[in-house]
Structures are given as C-alpha cells and as structure tokens.
Amino acid sequence: MLGLNKKDMNLLLLVAGLVIFAPFILNPFPEGSELAQFNAGYPDLMQRFVIFGIFAIGFNILFGLTGYLSFGHAAFLGVGSYAGVWMMKLLTMNVVPAIMISVVVAGLFSLLIGYISLRRSGIYFSILTLAFAQMSFALAYSVLTPLTGGETGLQLSLNDPRVLGISATETGSIPVTHFFGLEMRDSFELALGSWLFTFNAGYYLCAAVMLIAFYLSIRIFRSPFGMMLRAVKSNQQRMKYTGLNPKPYTLAAFVISGMYAGLAGGLMVSMDPLAGAERMFWTASGEVVLMAILGGAGTLIGPVLGAGLIKYMENILSKINSTILHEWFAFMPDGIEDVMVTLVYPFIGKGWHLTLGIMFMLVVIFLPGGLVEGGQRIARLFRRRGAKTDDSGAEQSQNTPAE
C-alpha cells in the first residue's frame, strides 16, 4: 500500500495514530490536579512537536544517511520563515503560498550553501555550514534589516500591500492566517469529566504536512537514491573506485534536507506570522542535531521522538520552579524537604539544559542508536522472556503424560 512494505506501513500508521490522537495522549491528567502541569496537549506546544519533527526528519536525511553533520541547518529554517512572512505581506494570508515559497527559497539557498560546503567533508564541512549560518544570522540581524526587521523581527502590519486579501479587518486589526477560509487559530474544546481536550485547526494542518513529510522520508530511505546515500556514509572512497561520483547525491540530500527545514519555517510563520533572526542562530542548529541523535540518527521515527522529547522538556520541565518542588516534597520533614528541593532544583526550571545534557551523554555512551535503540532492546528483552516461557512450557508438556 502506497508503495510501502508491511513494516513501513505499520510505522506510518503508528505515527498517524500518534498525531491524530495527540490531544488525548498528551493530556493524561485531569484539569486542576497536581499532575496537570505535565500535560502537553495545548495547541502551541503540539504544533511545535510536529513542526520540529519535520525539521528533524529533514536533517536526518542528510546526517542519518550520508553521515555529513551540518551545524548550520537553522539558516534554512530562518530563510523559510522570512520568505513565508513576505508572501503573507505581499500576496495573501492563505498559508499555502507561504509554505510553498518557504520550501522553494530554502531549497535554492541550500543549493548555494551545499555546493560550496560539500567541497569539503568531515569537520571542515561542519565548520563551513556553521560559518554560513552565522553569516546569515548576522546579515538578518543587522545588514538586511529592511528585509528581515532586524532585532525586532519581520512581522505583519496594517500597511502591507496584500494583493489577494485585505490589509486590515473591519475592526482595524491585522487579518489572521487561514487555510482556504479555515483560520489556523480555530479550536474546538471537548470536556470529558475532569479532562479538557483541545483540537486546533493549525495543529492538524501541521500534522497532515508532517505525515506527508514522514511518508516521503520513508520512500527516500527505501529508494535506490537512499542506498546510494548509505554507500556515501559507508565508504565514499570505494564508491569513487567503482566510477560513481558521490557529489551529486550528497548535494541532492543537502538540498532535500534544506527544503524540509524551509517547510518547517513556513509552518512556523503560518501558525504565528513572525520571523526573527534568532531562528538562524547556532543554538537552533545544535538543537536539531540533539533531536536526531537523541531519537536515533539514521532511523525513521527517531528524529520525531527526539524532537518531541526536547520540546517537551523545554516547555514543561522548564516551568517547574521551587514552589512546585516544595509542594512535591511537603510530606517530608522541613529539613529534608529543603535538602531535596536544593538537590533537584538545578535540574529543572532554568536548569533544564543540564538535564538535557546529562541525558545526551548517557544516550551517546550507552545507547548510540538513541531512543529507538532503547525501545528495540526492551522489545528484545520481552521476546527473550517470552521465548523462555514458551520453551519451559513445551518441556513441561513433553514430560507430562497425555490425558
């Protein structure tokens, strides 16, 4: 079905089920309970899950398949964001043209950067991509202020010369983004007892795009083109000895990866029409590297899991403060309570990066395959236990006389 084998089709259906039922899955605790602070089923965060999932999927096509580690992928995210906002300012508030132009502009920009950077490999390639990203950040922050908005960012205004739409509503406000009339901020709330679930139009548009992007990544991984990229990663020198030139394949992977980043940038501004230079900073590029490695570089679903984990920690773990910790340890004697709060506090709130760093080190040392490898080890453990149980049961039946 859809050109996929049974295993890949099951994986696609699993991802589809997760994104469709995300409002239920991410809100496991009832409203008003002490554990409700761990709920992540609100529209803005769910949108970030799938948008950065797309970003990580695209990065994985380059890094996971070819082994080329880019430290400047956020440049394409930022370029796509700027292109999307300009499309909204000049043409229409419909998100489709904005998303399309974001992909195209990011693809052209990645073609230029990739053509230059791929003249080198290894750490030199990584440094080149980092340099280009920082140059792009500096240009967007200062030199290209008329195009990028500089420090304040590029945003919509009441004076935008929008060709296929109005510049201001009847109430004098800026029009909202929409998908052929369906506003991205439209939401429907469902109350089931003490639980409250929110279904947002913008999230489901992002989810649909992510499923398409995930499907295309599966086809790329299973295609002859994907096999050539694995050959580049395995031994580029042997590939050259056979008469094959790896450069066109690596450049194509770089451009595809950049287009995925542009797609993520276009979806970002479709949900919130604001583009800033900080999206092109080196920390944003490092974040997508962490997503791929934590989830499992070179796997299909790993980068999506890594993106979800990091964005969950950034938005949920970072909100926990000392007051909440005192509530958690209130059952302990006062002295011990204060000690526990002192020990835990550096790892949450503003210190959530410390927890992320420790987790990253543990994954690199003990789970080089990321969360996917961890899941595979657990599955193998249960299969072994099941096999032992079956073997012991078979031996018992052989030693028991038939009735």
DSSP 174: P
Q: What is the DSSP string of 49-115?
A: HHHHHHHHHHHHHHHHHH----S-THHHHHHHHHHHHHHHHHT-SBHHHHHHHHHHHHHHHHHHHHH
Q: What integer pLDDT is reported at residue 35 of this predicted model?
A: 82
Let me know if residue 305 belongs to a domain: no
Same domain, 158 and 264: yes
Same domain, 269 and 193: yes
182-183 and 274-275 strand pairing: unpaired
- Judged against a pLDDT cut of 60, whether residue 192 lies above it is answered with yes
In tens, the pLDDT along 312-325 reads 999 988 888 888 88
Let me know if residue 356 belongs to a domain: yes
Same domain, 85 and 181: yes
Let me know if residue 307 belongs to a domain: no
Q: How confident is the model at residue 328 (pLDDT cuts 50, 70, 90)?
A: confident
CA angle 290, 8, 207 (to 5 degrees): 60
Q: What burial class does residue 345 get, using C-beta atoms within 10 Å of its C-beta: 0-12 exposed, 13-18 middle, 19+ buried?
A: middle
Structural contact between residues 248 and 66, judged by C-beta atoms closer than 8 angstroms: no
- Judged against a pLDDT cut of 50, whether residue 403 lies above it is answered with no
Same domain, 95 and 158: yes
Same domain, 379 and 236: no
Same domain, 206 and 268: yes
In tens, the pLDDT along 41-80 reads 899 999 999 999 999 999 999 999 999 999 999 999 999 9
Instruction: Work out the mean pLDDT of the chain and round it to a whole number.
Output: 90
Of 260, 284, 308, the one marking the end of a domain is 284
Same domain, 132 and 20: yes
Q: What integer pLDDT is reported at residue 214 of this predicted model?
A: 96
Structural contact between residues 2 and 214, judged by C-beta atoms closer than 8 angstroms: no
Let me know if residue 311 belongs to a domain: no
Of 284, 308, 328, the one marking the end of a domain is 284
- Count of structural domains, the chain: 2
Q: How far is it, in rounded angstroms, from Cα 23 to Cα 200?
A: 9
Let me know if residue 270 belongs to a domain: yes
Q: What integer pLDDT is reported at residue 240 of this predicted model?
A: 86
Q: How far is it, in rounded angstroms, from Cα 158 to Cα 168?
A: 6
In tens, the pLDDT along 353-372 reads 999 999 999 998 998 889 99
> What's at 320, amino acid-wise?
I
Same domain, 251 and 355: no
Q: What integer pLDDT is reported at residue 397 of this predicted model?
A: 47
Structural contact between residues 298 and 64, judged by C-beta atoms closer than 8 angstroms: yes
In tens, the pLDDT along 226-275 reads 999 999 998 888 888 888 899 999 999 999 999 999 999 999 999 999 99
Let me know if residue 48 belongs to a domain: yes
Q: What is the DSSP string of 209-257?
A: HHHHHHHHHHHHHHSHHHHHHHHHHHHHHHHHHTT--SHHHHHHHHHHH
In tens, the pLDDT along 89-142 reads 999 999 999 999 999 999 999 999 999 999 998 899 999 999 999 999 999 998
Backbone angles phi, psi at 45, to 5 degrees: -75, -40
Same domain, 91 and 212: yes
Q: What integer pLDDT is reported at residue 151 of this predicted model?
A: 87
Let me know if residue 395 belongs to a domain: no
- Judged against a pLDDT cut of 70, whether residue 7 lies above it is answered with yes
Q: What integer pLDDT is reported at residue 14 of this predicted model?
A: 94
Let me know if residue 402 belongs to a domain: no
- Judged against a pLDDT cut of 60, whether residue 395 lies above it is answered with no
Same domain, 366 and 245: no
Backbone angles phi, psi at 384, to 5 degrees: -65, -45
Q: What integer pLDDT is reported at residue 396 of this predicted model?
A: 52
Residues 6+ apart with CB under 8 A from 317: 348, 352, 355
In tens, the pLDDT along 284-312 reads 999 999 999 999 999 999 999 999 999 99
Of 237, 263, 284, the one marking the end of a domain is 284
- Judged against a pLDDT cut of 50, whether residue 327 lies above it is answered with yes
Domain that holds residue 361: 316-388
Distance (Å) of CA 64 to CA 70, 78, 138, 155, 395: 11, 22, 29, 35, 45
Same domain, 80 and 181: yes
Task: Specify the residue for token string 């409002």.
Answer: 23
DSSP 361: H
